[in-house]
Chains A and B, each alone.
Chain A
Amino acid sequence: MDLSAISPTLLIASLMVAATPILLAAIGELVVEKAGVLNLGVEGMMITGAICGFAIAVETGSPVLGFICAAIGAAILSMIFGVLTQFFLSNQVATGLALTLFGLGLSSLLGQSYVGIKPPSTEKIDFPLLSDIPYLGPIVFNHDLMVYLTLALVAAVWATLKYTRAGLILRAVGENHDAAHALGYKVIRVRLMAIAFGGACAGLGGAYLSLIRVPQWTEGMTAGAGWIALAIVVFASWRPLRVLLGAYLFGGVTVLQLNLQAAGMAIPVEYLSMSPYLITILVLVIMSAPRKGGKARMSLAAPACLGRAFHASS
Protein backbone atom coordinates (compact mmCIF):
# COMPACT_ATOMS: atom_id res chain seq x y z
CA MET A 1 0.00 0.00 0.00
CA ASP A 2 1.22 3.41 -0.91
CA LEU A 3 -0.37 6.12 1.17
CA SER A 4 1.97 8.80 -0.10
CA ALA A 5 0.10 8.62 -3.42
CA ILE A 6 -2.83 10.33 -1.69
CA SER A 7 -2.41 14.06 -1.96
CA PRO A 8 -4.16 16.02 0.79
CA THR A 9 -4.78 18.96 -1.56
CA LEU A 10 -6.50 16.84 -4.17
CA LEU A 11 -8.33 14.99 -1.42
CA ILE A 12 -9.92 18.15 -0.05
CA ALA A 13 -10.64 19.46 -3.52
CA SER A 14 -12.43 16.28 -4.55
CA LEU A 15 -14.19 16.19 -1.19
CA MET A 16 -16.00 19.39 -2.12
CA VAL A 17 -17.15 17.82 -5.36
CA ALA A 18 -18.21 14.57 -3.69
CA ALA A 19 -20.18 16.43 -1.04
CA THR A 20 -22.06 18.75 -3.41
CA PRO A 21 -24.92 16.43 -4.52
CA ILE A 22 -25.67 15.39 -0.95
CA LEU A 23 -25.37 18.95 0.27
CA LEU A 24 -27.90 20.11 -2.32
CA ALA A 25 -30.39 17.38 -1.45
CA ALA A 26 -29.88 17.86 2.29
CA ILE A 27 -30.34 21.64 2.27
CA GLY A 28 -33.57 21.18 0.32
CA GLU A 29 -34.83 18.54 2.71
CA LEU A 30 -33.91 20.78 5.64
CA VAL A 31 -36.28 23.46 4.36
CA VAL A 32 -39.01 20.85 3.87
CA GLU A 33 -38.56 19.50 7.39
CA LYS A 34 -38.41 23.00 8.86
CA ALA A 35 -41.89 23.45 7.39
CA GLY A 36 -42.98 20.35 9.30
CA VAL A 37 -43.04 17.88 6.42
CA LEU A 38 -41.01 14.69 6.34
CA ASN A 39 -40.34 13.78 2.72
CA LEU A 40 -38.64 10.41 2.47
CA GLY A 41 -38.71 10.60 -1.30
CA VAL A 42 -35.38 12.42 -1.62
CA GLU A 43 -33.76 9.42 -3.29
CA GLY A 44 -36.54 9.21 -5.88
CA MET A 45 -36.44 12.94 -6.62
CA MET A 46 -32.65 12.88 -6.87
CA ILE A 47 -32.57 10.10 -9.40
CA THR A 48 -35.38 11.67 -11.41
CA GLY A 49 -33.38 14.91 -11.44
CA ALA A 50 -30.32 12.93 -12.49
CA ILE A 51 -31.99 11.52 -15.59
CA CYS A 52 -33.96 14.70 -16.45
CA GLY A 53 -30.81 16.78 -16.30
CA PHE A 54 -28.79 14.19 -18.18
CA ALA A 55 -31.32 13.75 -20.97
CA ILE A 56 -31.85 17.46 -21.50
CA ALA A 57 -28.12 18.18 -21.37
CA VAL A 58 -27.42 15.48 -23.95
CA GLU A 59 -30.26 16.57 -26.25
CA THR A 60 -29.50 20.28 -26.12
CA GLY A 61 -25.77 20.11 -25.47
CA SER A 62 -26.17 22.57 -22.63
CA PRO A 63 -25.44 21.44 -19.06
CA VAL A 64 -26.98 24.65 -17.71
CA LEU A 65 -30.30 23.82 -19.35
CA GLY A 66 -29.89 20.31 -17.99
CA PHE A 67 -29.60 21.56 -14.43
CA ILE A 68 -32.62 23.84 -14.84
CA CYS A 69 -34.76 21.02 -16.20
CA ALA A 70 -33.53 18.66 -13.48
CA ALA A 71 -34.75 21.10 -10.85
CA ILE A 72 -38.09 21.55 -12.62
CA GLY A 73 -38.57 17.81 -13.21
CA ALA A 74 -37.86 16.85 -9.63
CA ALA A 75 -40.03 19.69 -8.33
CA ILE A 76 -42.94 18.43 -10.43
CA LEU A 77 -42.38 14.94 -9.05
CA SER A 78 -42.28 16.32 -5.52
CA MET A 79 -45.69 17.88 -6.15
CA ILE A 80 -47.17 14.37 -6.31
CA PHE A 81 -45.97 14.00 -2.74
CA GLY A 82 -47.19 17.51 -1.93
CA VAL A 83 -50.70 16.97 -3.22
CA LEU A 84 -51.02 13.54 -1.61
CA THR A 85 -49.81 14.61 1.82
CA GLN A 86 -51.30 18.11 1.95
CA PHE A 87 -54.66 17.66 0.22
CA PHE A 88 -55.26 13.94 0.56
CA LEU A 89 -53.73 13.87 4.05
CA SER A 90 -51.86 10.65 3.35
CA ASN A 91 -49.22 9.22 5.66
CA GLN A 92 -45.99 11.10 4.96
CA VAL A 93 -43.67 8.16 5.59
CA ALA A 94 -45.57 5.88 3.23
CA THR A 95 -45.99 8.57 0.57
CA GLY A 96 -42.30 9.44 0.68
CA LEU A 97 -41.41 5.78 0.24
CA ALA A 98 -43.82 5.58 -2.68
CA LEU A 99 -42.13 8.59 -4.22
CA THR A 100 -38.75 6.86 -3.97
CA LEU A 101 -40.02 3.60 -5.47
CA PHE A 102 -41.85 5.43 -8.26
CA GLY A 103 -38.90 7.73 -8.95
CA LEU A 104 -36.52 4.78 -9.29
CA GLY A 105 -38.87 3.10 -11.77
CA LEU A 106 -39.63 6.27 -13.70
CA SER A 107 -35.96 7.22 -13.99
CA SER A 108 -34.86 3.89 -15.39
CA LEU A 109 -37.78 4.06 -17.81
CA LEU A 110 -36.75 7.52 -18.98
CA GLY A 111 -33.08 6.65 -19.05
CA GLN A 112 -33.22 3.57 -21.28
CA SER A 113 -31.72 5.19 -24.33
CA TYR A 114 -29.14 7.19 -22.39
CA VAL A 115 -27.01 4.39 -20.98
CA GLY A 116 -23.35 4.64 -21.92
CA ILE A 117 -23.49 8.15 -23.37
CA LYS A 118 -21.12 10.88 -22.25
CA PRO A 119 -22.82 14.14 -21.29
CA PRO A 120 -21.53 17.52 -22.48
CA SER A 121 -18.82 18.58 -20.07
CA THR A 122 -19.18 21.44 -17.65
CA GLU A 123 -16.45 24.02 -17.59
CA LYS A 124 -14.55 24.69 -14.43
CA ILE A 125 -14.49 28.31 -13.44
CA ASP A 126 -11.11 29.89 -13.76
CA PHE A 127 -10.36 32.48 -11.13
CA PRO A 128 -7.34 34.32 -12.47
CA LEU A 129 -4.53 34.60 -9.91
CA LEU A 130 -6.64 33.10 -7.10
CA SER A 131 -6.34 29.56 -8.43
CA ASP A 132 -2.58 29.91 -8.47
CA ILE A 133 -2.33 30.35 -4.72
CA PRO A 134 -0.41 27.32 -3.46
CA TYR A 135 -2.58 24.73 -1.69
CA LEU A 136 -5.57 27.05 -1.23
CA GLY A 137 -5.91 27.73 -4.94
CA PRO A 138 -6.59 24.19 -6.18
CA ILE A 139 -8.77 23.46 -3.13
CA VAL A 140 -11.08 26.46 -3.16
CA PHE A 141 -10.78 28.13 -6.53
CA ASN A 142 -10.76 25.34 -9.04
CA HIS A 143 -14.29 23.98 -9.29
CA ASP A 144 -17.34 24.17 -11.48
CA LEU A 145 -20.03 26.76 -10.93
CA MET A 146 -22.43 24.40 -9.14
CA VAL A 147 -20.06 23.95 -6.19
CA TYR A 148 -20.12 27.68 -5.52
CA LEU A 149 -23.83 28.02 -6.21
CA THR A 150 -24.49 25.26 -3.71
CA LEU A 151 -22.46 27.04 -1.05
CA ALA A 152 -24.33 30.25 -1.83
CA LEU A 153 -27.61 28.37 -1.55
CA VAL A 154 -26.69 27.05 1.88
CA ALA A 155 -25.83 30.56 3.01
CA ALA A 156 -29.07 31.88 1.53
CA VAL A 157 -31.16 29.24 3.28
CA TRP A 158 -29.39 29.97 6.55
CA ALA A 159 -29.97 33.73 6.24
CA THR A 160 -33.56 33.33 5.09
CA LEU A 161 -34.50 31.05 7.94
CA LYS A 162 -32.75 33.18 10.51
CA TYR A 163 -33.34 36.77 9.48
CA THR A 164 -36.34 37.10 7.20
CA ARG A 165 -40.07 37.17 7.73
CA ALA A 166 -40.57 34.38 5.20
CA GLY A 167 -38.18 32.21 7.18
CA LEU A 168 -40.02 32.97 10.38
CA ILE A 169 -43.36 31.99 8.84
CA LEU A 170 -41.84 28.78 7.49
CA ARG A 171 -40.52 27.87 10.92
CA ALA A 172 -43.82 28.80 12.58
CA VAL A 173 -45.66 26.45 10.24
CA GLY A 174 -43.21 23.70 11.12
CA GLU A 175 -43.28 24.25 14.86
CA ASN A 176 -47.01 24.69 15.38
CA HIS A 177 -49.26 24.52 12.36
CA ASP A 178 -52.44 25.20 14.30
CA ALA A 179 -51.06 28.42 15.72
CA ALA A 180 -49.71 29.46 12.33
CA HIS A 181 -53.12 28.77 10.82
CA ALA A 182 -54.81 30.81 13.53
CA LEU A 183 -52.52 33.71 12.70
CA GLY A 184 -53.74 33.55 9.14
CA TYR A 185 -50.75 31.94 7.47
CA LYS A 186 -51.54 29.54 4.67
CA VAL A 187 -50.05 26.37 6.16
CA ILE A 188 -50.67 24.19 3.15
CA ARG A 189 -49.39 26.76 0.67
CA VAL A 190 -46.20 27.30 2.66
CA ARG A 191 -45.65 23.57 2.90
CA LEU A 192 -46.25 23.01 -0.80
CA MET A 193 -43.71 25.68 -1.65
CA ALA A 194 -41.21 24.11 0.74
CA ILE A 195 -41.78 20.67 -0.79
CA ALA A 196 -41.25 22.06 -4.30
CA PHE A 197 -38.06 23.77 -3.17
CA GLY A 198 -36.85 20.52 -1.63
CA GLY A 199 -37.67 18.68 -4.83
CA ALA A 200 -35.80 21.20 -6.96
CA CYS A 201 -32.74 20.98 -4.73
CA ALA A 202 -32.78 17.18 -4.79
CA GLY A 203 -33.11 17.32 -8.57
CA LEU A 204 -30.08 19.60 -8.83
CA GLY A 205 -28.15 17.20 -6.60
CA GLY A 206 -29.08 14.29 -8.84
CA ALA A 207 -28.11 16.18 -11.96
CA TYR A 208 -24.78 17.07 -10.38
CA LEU A 209 -24.14 13.35 -9.98
CA SER A 210 -25.03 12.41 -13.55
CA LEU A 211 -23.55 15.48 -15.29
CA ILE A 212 -20.40 16.28 -13.33
CA ARG A 213 -19.48 13.86 -10.60
CA VAL A 214 -19.77 10.51 -12.40
CA PRO A 215 -20.46 11.71 -15.32
CA GLN A 216 -22.81 9.31 -17.07
CA TRP A 217 -26.20 7.73 -16.55
CA THR A 218 -26.63 4.33 -14.91
CA GLU A 219 -29.75 2.88 -13.33
CA GLY A 220 -29.96 3.47 -9.59
CA MET A 221 -26.85 5.64 -9.76
CA THR A 222 -27.75 7.72 -6.68
CA ALA A 223 -27.03 4.57 -4.59
CA GLY A 224 -28.53 5.85 -1.37
CA ALA A 225 -27.30 9.43 -1.62
CA GLY A 226 -30.83 10.66 -0.95
CA TRP A 227 -31.05 8.61 2.22
CA ILE A 228 -27.70 9.87 3.38
CA ALA A 229 -28.96 13.42 2.77
CA LEU A 230 -31.89 12.64 5.06
CA ALA A 231 -29.51 11.35 7.69
CA ILE A 232 -27.37 14.48 7.38
CA VAL A 233 -30.38 16.68 8.16
CA VAL A 234 -30.84 14.75 11.41
CA PHE A 235 -27.11 14.88 12.09
CA ALA A 236 -27.18 18.65 11.56
CA SER A 237 -29.99 19.08 14.11
CA TRP A 238 -31.90 20.99 11.42
CA ARG A 239 -29.28 23.76 11.16
CA PRO A 240 -28.13 24.82 7.67
CA LEU A 241 -24.47 25.39 8.50
CA ARG A 242 -24.20 22.03 10.20
CA VAL A 243 -25.66 20.46 7.07
CA LEU A 244 -22.62 21.85 5.31
CA LEU A 245 -20.37 20.28 7.90
CA GLY A 246 -22.18 16.95 7.69
CA ALA A 247 -22.06 16.84 3.90
CA TYR A 248 -18.35 17.64 3.85
CA LEU A 249 -17.68 15.02 6.49
CA PHE A 250 -19.52 12.48 4.40
CA GLY A 251 -17.81 13.67 1.24
CA GLY A 252 -14.48 13.29 3.02
CA VAL A 253 -15.21 9.69 3.98
CA THR A 254 -16.31 8.86 0.44
CA VAL A 255 -13.25 10.38 -1.15
CA LEU A 256 -10.90 8.89 1.40
CA GLN A 257 -12.20 5.37 0.90
CA LEU A 258 -11.98 5.77 -2.88
CA ASN A 259 -8.38 6.89 -2.49
CA LEU A 260 -7.62 3.99 -0.19
CA GLN A 261 -9.08 1.64 -2.80
CA ALA A 262 -6.85 3.18 -5.43
CA ALA A 263 -3.83 2.98 -3.14
CA GLY A 264 -4.41 -0.75 -2.83
CA MET A 265 -5.14 -1.02 0.86
CA ALA A 266 -5.33 -4.55 2.24
CA ILE A 267 -9.05 -4.27 2.96
CA PRO A 268 -11.38 -5.72 0.27
CA VAL A 269 -13.03 -3.10 -1.92
CA GLU A 270 -16.54 -4.02 -0.75
CA TYR A 271 -15.73 -3.25 2.86
CA LEU A 272 -14.24 0.12 1.97
CA SER A 273 -17.27 0.90 -0.18
CA MET A 274 -19.69 0.27 2.66
CA SER A 275 -17.81 2.54 5.05
CA PRO A 276 -19.71 5.77 4.16
CA TYR A 277 -23.01 4.07 5.04
CA LEU A 278 -21.64 2.65 8.28
CA ILE A 279 -20.17 5.98 9.30
CA THR A 280 -23.49 7.69 8.55
CA ILE A 281 -25.20 5.23 10.88
CA LEU A 282 -22.54 5.76 13.53
CA VAL A 283 -22.94 9.53 13.37
CA LEU A 284 -26.73 9.16 13.60
CA VAL A 285 -26.33 7.05 16.72
CA ILE A 286 -24.02 9.56 18.37
CA MET A 287 -26.30 12.47 17.53
CA SER A 288 -29.50 10.84 18.68
CA ALA A 289 -28.26 9.17 21.85
CA PRO A 290 -29.88 10.60 25.01
CA ARG A 291 -27.73 13.08 26.95
CA LYS A 292 -27.35 13.28 30.71
CA GLY A 293 -30.32 15.67 30.86
CA GLY A 294 -32.51 12.88 29.50
CA LYS A 295 -33.63 14.23 26.16
CA ALA A 296 -31.69 13.60 22.98
CA ARG A 297 -30.10 16.58 21.32
CA MET A 298 -31.98 15.62 18.21
CA SER A 299 -35.46 15.55 19.69
CA LEU A 300 -34.98 19.07 21.05
CA ALA A 301 -34.05 20.44 17.67
CA ALA A 302 -36.63 18.68 15.50
CA PRO A 303 -39.52 20.87 14.29
CA ALA A 304 -42.43 20.11 16.60
CA CYS A 305 -44.93 19.36 13.82
CA LEU A 306 -42.53 17.22 11.77
CA GLY A 307 -44.47 14.55 9.94
CA ARG A 308 -47.90 15.54 11.23
CA ALA A 309 -50.70 16.15 8.76
CA PHE A 310 -52.55 19.45 8.93
CA HIS A 311 -56.31 19.59 8.49
CA ALA A 312 -57.89 22.97 9.13
CA SER A 313 -61.18 21.83 10.62
CA SER A 314 -59.72 19.55 13.24
Chain B
Amino acid sequence: MELYLKGIQIACKGISATVGVSLIALVVGATFGLLIALARLSDNKVLRGICGVYVDVVRGTPMVVQALIMAYGIPQLLQANGVMFKWPELVLPAIIVCGLNSAAYMAEVIRSGLQAVDKGQMEAARSLGMPKGMAMRLIIIPQAIKIILPAFCNEFVTLIKETAVLSFVGVTEILRRGALWNSQSFETFPAYIGVAIAYMILTIPLSKIIGNYEKKNG
Protein backbone atom coordinates (compact mmCIF):
# COMPACT_ATOMS: atom_id res chain seq x y z
CA MET B 1 0.00 0.00 0.00
CA GLU B 2 2.76 2.36 0.93
CA LEU B 3 4.39 1.76 -2.43
CA TYR B 4 1.20 2.71 -4.22
CA LEU B 5 0.85 5.90 -2.22
CA LYS B 6 4.44 6.73 -3.03
CA GLY B 7 3.73 6.03 -6.70
CA ILE B 8 0.80 8.43 -6.65
CA GLN B 9 2.83 11.03 -4.77
CA ILE B 10 5.68 10.89 -7.25
CA ALA B 11 3.38 11.04 -10.26
CA CYS B 12 1.52 14.01 -8.75
CA LYS B 13 4.76 15.98 -8.70
CA GLY B 14 4.40 16.08 -12.47
CA ILE B 15 0.93 17.65 -12.33
CA SER B 16 2.21 21.22 -12.46
CA ALA B 17 4.22 20.51 -15.61
CA THR B 18 1.35 18.64 -17.26
CA VAL B 19 -1.23 21.28 -16.40
CA GLY B 20 1.16 24.11 -17.28
CA VAL B 21 1.96 22.74 -20.71
CA SER B 22 -1.71 21.90 -21.32
CA LEU B 23 -2.91 25.35 -20.30
CA ILE B 24 -0.40 27.21 -22.44
CA ALA B 25 -1.10 24.84 -25.32
CA LEU B 26 -4.82 25.50 -24.86
CA VAL B 27 -4.31 29.26 -25.13
CA VAL B 28 -1.99 28.90 -28.13
CA GLY B 29 -4.41 26.41 -29.67
CA ALA B 30 -7.44 28.61 -29.15
CA THR B 31 -5.71 31.69 -30.58
CA PHE B 32 -4.28 30.01 -33.66
CA GLY B 33 -7.35 27.82 -33.95
CA LEU B 34 -9.55 30.92 -34.19
CA LEU B 35 -7.28 32.45 -36.83
CA ILE B 36 -7.25 29.22 -38.84
CA ALA B 37 -11.03 28.87 -38.52
CA LEU B 38 -11.57 32.45 -39.73
CA ALA B 39 -9.11 31.88 -42.59
CA ARG B 40 -10.92 28.71 -43.62
CA LEU B 41 -14.21 30.61 -43.69
CA SER B 42 -12.75 33.58 -45.58
CA ASP B 43 -13.11 34.31 -49.27
CA ASN B 44 -9.35 34.07 -49.81
CA LYS B 45 -8.67 30.81 -51.67
CA VAL B 46 -4.90 30.72 -50.99
CA LEU B 47 -5.37 31.28 -47.26
CA ARG B 48 -8.11 28.66 -47.15
CA GLY B 49 -5.88 26.16 -48.95
CA ILE B 50 -2.86 26.69 -46.70
CA CYS B 51 -4.92 26.30 -43.55
CA GLY B 52 -6.66 23.23 -44.94
CA VAL B 53 -3.29 21.59 -45.61
CA TYR B 54 -2.09 22.52 -42.14
CA VAL B 55 -5.10 20.93 -40.47
CA ASP B 56 -4.74 17.79 -42.61
CA VAL B 57 -1.02 17.41 -41.87
CA VAL B 58 -1.38 17.89 -38.14
CA ARG B 59 -4.40 15.66 -37.80
CA GLY B 60 -2.85 13.06 -40.06
CA THR B 61 0.34 12.50 -38.04
CA PRO B 62 0.82 11.27 -34.45
CA MET B 63 1.73 13.96 -31.96
CA VAL B 64 4.71 11.96 -30.70
CA VAL B 65 6.21 12.11 -34.20
CA GLN B 66 5.58 15.86 -34.37
CA ALA B 67 7.22 16.23 -30.94
CA LEU B 68 10.30 14.27 -31.99
CA ILE B 69 10.64 16.33 -35.18
CA MET B 70 10.29 19.59 -33.27
CA ALA B 71 12.51 18.69 -30.31
CA TYR B 72 15.30 16.78 -32.03
CA GLY B 73 14.75 16.86 -35.79
CA ILE B 74 14.73 20.59 -36.30
CA PRO B 75 17.84 21.33 -34.15
CA GLN B 76 19.70 18.56 -36.02
CA LEU B 77 18.65 19.97 -39.39
CA LEU B 78 19.77 23.46 -38.39
CA GLN B 79 23.05 22.25 -36.97
CA ALA B 80 23.76 20.21 -40.11
CA ASN B 81 23.36 23.46 -42.05
CA GLY B 82 25.76 25.32 -39.84
CA VAL B 83 23.25 27.09 -37.59
CA MET B 84 24.05 26.56 -33.93
CA PHE B 85 20.65 25.90 -32.46
CA LYS B 86 19.64 24.04 -29.35
CA TRP B 87 16.40 24.27 -27.38
CA PRO B 88 17.28 25.97 -24.07
CA GLU B 89 14.51 23.96 -22.43
CA LEU B 90 12.84 20.90 -23.92
CA VAL B 91 9.56 22.15 -22.56
CA LEU B 92 9.60 24.85 -25.27
CA PRO B 93 9.24 22.54 -28.29
CA ALA B 94 6.79 20.54 -26.18
CA ILE B 95 4.54 23.55 -25.70
CA ILE B 96 4.88 24.56 -29.34
CA VAL B 97 3.92 21.09 -30.58
CA CYS B 98 0.98 20.76 -28.20
CA GLY B 99 -0.21 24.26 -29.05
CA LEU B 100 0.03 23.86 -32.82
CA ASN B 101 -1.49 20.41 -32.58
CA SER B 102 -4.34 21.70 -30.52
CA ALA B 103 -4.80 24.61 -32.94
CA ALA B 104 -5.61 22.20 -35.76
CA TYR B 105 -8.27 20.42 -33.74
CA MET B 106 -9.57 23.63 -32.22
CA ALA B 107 -9.83 25.21 -35.67
CA GLU B 108 -12.35 22.57 -36.66
CA VAL B 109 -14.29 22.97 -33.42
CA ILE B 110 -14.35 26.76 -33.80
CA ARG B 111 -15.25 26.57 -37.47
CA SER B 112 -18.23 24.34 -36.81
CA GLY B 113 -19.22 26.61 -33.92
CA LEU B 114 -19.10 29.70 -36.12
CA GLN B 115 -21.09 27.91 -38.79
CA ALA B 116 -23.66 26.79 -36.24
CA VAL B 117 -24.64 30.41 -35.55
CA ASP B 118 -27.80 31.14 -37.51
CA LYS B 119 -27.08 32.67 -40.93
CA GLY B 120 -29.66 35.37 -40.22
CA GLN B 121 -27.40 36.81 -37.52
CA MET B 122 -24.72 37.76 -40.02
CA GLU B 123 -27.37 39.11 -42.39
CA ALA B 124 -28.95 41.23 -39.67
CA ALA B 125 -25.55 42.60 -38.64
CA ARG B 126 -24.55 43.36 -42.23
CA SER B 127 -27.92 44.96 -42.97
CA LEU B 128 -27.23 47.39 -40.10
CA GLY B 129 -24.07 48.48 -41.90
CA MET B 130 -21.52 46.43 -39.97
CA PRO B 131 -18.50 45.36 -42.01
CA LYS B 132 -17.87 41.60 -41.96
CA GLY B 133 -15.06 41.71 -39.40
CA MET B 134 -17.08 43.81 -36.98
CA ALA B 135 -20.10 41.53 -37.37
CA MET B 136 -17.88 38.53 -36.62
CA ARG B 137 -16.42 40.18 -33.53
CA LEU B 138 -19.60 41.63 -32.03
CA ILE B 139 -22.30 39.24 -33.16
CA ILE B 140 -21.06 35.87 -34.41
CA ILE B 141 -18.07 35.01 -32.18
CA PRO B 142 -19.83 35.75 -28.86
CA GLN B 143 -22.63 33.39 -29.84
CA ALA B 144 -20.23 30.76 -31.17
CA ILE B 145 -18.30 30.72 -27.89
CA LYS B 146 -21.34 29.41 -26.05
CA ILE B 147 -21.67 26.61 -28.60
CA ILE B 148 -17.96 25.85 -28.54
CA LEU B 149 -17.36 25.96 -24.79
CA PRO B 150 -18.02 22.26 -23.97
CA ALA B 151 -15.87 21.08 -26.88
CA PHE B 152 -13.22 23.57 -25.82
CA CYS B 153 -13.11 22.10 -22.30
CA ASN B 154 -13.04 18.59 -23.72
CA GLU B 155 -10.04 19.65 -25.75
CA PHE B 156 -8.36 20.63 -22.47
CA VAL B 157 -9.03 17.14 -21.07
CA THR B 158 -7.64 15.60 -24.25
CA LEU B 159 -4.58 17.84 -24.05
CA ILE B 160 -3.87 16.78 -20.47
CA LYS B 161 -3.78 13.17 -21.58
CA GLU B 162 -1.92 13.79 -24.81
CA THR B 163 0.89 15.68 -23.14
CA ALA B 164 1.95 12.23 -21.87
CA VAL B 165 3.78 11.76 -25.16
CA LEU B 166 6.05 14.63 -24.17
CA SER B 167 7.80 12.30 -21.74
CA PHE B 168 9.40 10.93 -24.91
CA VAL B 169 11.14 14.23 -25.49
CA GLY B 170 12.22 14.56 -21.89
CA VAL B 171 9.65 16.87 -20.28
CA THR B 172 9.28 15.78 -16.65
CA GLU B 173 5.51 15.74 -16.55
CA ILE B 174 3.33 13.11 -14.86
CA LEU B 175 4.30 10.10 -16.96
CA ARG B 176 8.00 10.96 -16.95
CA ARG B 177 8.00 11.22 -13.14
CA GLY B 178 6.53 7.74 -12.86
CA ALA B 179 8.83 6.30 -15.49
CA LEU B 180 11.91 7.74 -13.77
CA TRP B 181 10.87 6.29 -10.45
CA ASN B 182 10.23 2.94 -12.11
CA SER B 183 13.71 2.87 -13.59
CA GLN B 184 15.24 3.51 -10.16
CA SER B 185 13.06 1.28 -8.03
CA PHE B 186 11.70 -1.31 -10.52
CA GLU B 187 8.32 -0.88 -8.82
CA THR B 188 6.69 -0.93 -12.24
CA PHE B 189 3.08 -1.56 -11.29
CA PRO B 190 2.82 1.00 -8.44
CA ALA B 191 4.67 3.53 -10.57
CA TYR B 192 2.32 3.39 -13.53
CA ILE B 193 -0.83 2.96 -11.42
CA GLY B 194 0.28 6.16 -9.67
CA VAL B 195 0.61 7.84 -13.05
CA ALA B 196 -2.86 6.71 -14.10
CA ILE B 197 -4.40 7.99 -10.88
CA ALA B 198 -2.65 11.35 -11.20
CA TYR B 199 -4.22 11.79 -14.65
CA MET B 200 -7.63 10.79 -13.34
CA ILE B 201 -7.42 13.32 -10.54
CA LEU B 202 -7.26 15.94 -13.27
CA THR B 203 -9.53 14.59 -15.95
CA ILE B 204 -12.49 13.07 -14.15
CA PRO B 205 -13.61 16.20 -12.23
CA LEU B 206 -13.15 18.28 -15.39
CA SER B 207 -15.24 15.89 -17.46
CA LYS B 208 -17.97 15.91 -14.82
CA ILE B 209 -18.08 19.71 -14.82
CA ILE B 210 -18.38 19.76 -18.60
CA GLY B 211 -21.09 17.12 -18.50
CA ASN B 212 -23.11 19.17 -16.01
CA TYR B 213 -22.72 22.32 -18.09
CA GLU B 214 -23.92 20.50 -21.19
CA LYS B 215 -26.90 19.08 -19.34
CA LYS B 216 -27.85 22.52 -18.08
CA ASN B 217 -27.43 24.26 -21.42
CA GLY B 218 -28.24 21.31 -23.66
Q: Do A and B come from one complex?
A: no
Query: Hey, which bits of chain B sit against chain A, CB under 8 A?
Result: none
Interface of A toward B, CB cutoff 8 Å:
none
